[in-house]
Amino acid sequence: MTDYGFLERQLKALLDTRDWLTNAAQTSAFLTQTLGDLNWVGFYLQRQPETLILGPFQGQPACNPIPFSSGVCGAAARSRETQRIDDVHEVPDHIACDAASRSELVVPIVVDDRVWGVLDIDSPVPARFTRADQAGIERLCAVFIAASDLSSAEP
């Protein structure tokens, strides 16, 4: 079982700048290195209306852009709720950037009542993400938000 309290303390120590770009890159790399069974971790930003644009990530080249109306990332941005998908092949409008991905967790990043973007995490393992993973990763997103000046990432 992953010790998210420990990861939270580590991420707080790692994010020693207010720069959102640096912190997004560091968060993506940190999650890739500390969580097992992942094949993609990264941010999509709302830089255009109702559209997510690729931001810092770790993994294979990714799909870009993603409209709010499509896919798991779009659903998270549209609903402002975390999407935890056990099998992406069961999602009719799933956007397959990497055919190896089987499960996905997408956490919306909401700042000042506006969707700033999403953190997208993919795994080649079906049902990789538990409720505990979801809660822990949502806490890590809160660390990222608190450490970052997200106003400088405005469209």
- We report the CATH number of the domain holding residue 137 as 3.30.450.40
Residue 73 falls within a domain, yes or no? yes
Range of the domain at 61: 4-149
Q: What is the domain count for the chain?
A: 1
CA angle 109, 112, 117 (to 5 degrees): 25
β-bridge mates for residue 107, sequence order: 119
Give the pLDDT of residue 38.
97
Q: What are phi and psi of 85, to 5 degrees?
A: -110, 120
Give the pLDDT of residue 153.
61
Mean pLDDT of 67-75: 96
At 120, the amino acid letter reads D
Q: Cβ distance 29 to 58 under 8 Å?
A: yes
Give the pLDDT of residue 92.
82
Residue 155 falls within a domain, yes or no? no
Determine the Cα–Cα distance for residues 138 and 82; give it in Å rounded to an integer.
8
